[in-house]
Amino acid sequence: MQTVSAPSTIPPYTPCPGGFITVQTLDDGRLMVESWRINSAPYDSLQPYTEPVHHCITSDRAEALRLVGEFTADIARINSRLIAT
């Protein structure tokens, strides 16, 4: 079985339906992966805003890429449920 290594770069911003994913490199070299949901119909404000949904810190680049994919699917799923209601 062949081992697949993670790409040398991880996108710092990944848009997805209903939100986006960010990846930041921390001072100690670890990666912070966060997902954000865009609330386009807020009840308490006239302007749309974002809400954090996921937050994870890892030192493994392959894990960070996996989290970007997982969080993207989660945000899209949340968005599709909100649209359906």
Average pLDDT over residues 56-61: 96
Average pLDDT over residues 42-62: 83
pLDDT at res. 5: 55
C-alpha radius of gyration, the chain, whole number: 15
What percent of the chain shows pLDDT beyond 90? 58
Q: Would you list the domain boundaries of the chain? A: 13-84
Give the C-alpha separation, 48 to 69, whole Å.
Answer: 25
Specify the pairing of strand 13-16 against strand 19-25. Answer: antiparallel
Asked whether the beta carbons of 22 and 36 are under 8 A apart, the reply is yes
62-79 residue pLDDT tens: 999 999 999 999 999 988
Whole-model pTM? 0.78
Task: State the sign of the Cα–Cα–Cα–Cα dihedral 27, 28, 29, 35.
Answer: negative
Of 30, 31, 74, whose CA–CA distance to 52 is shortest? 74
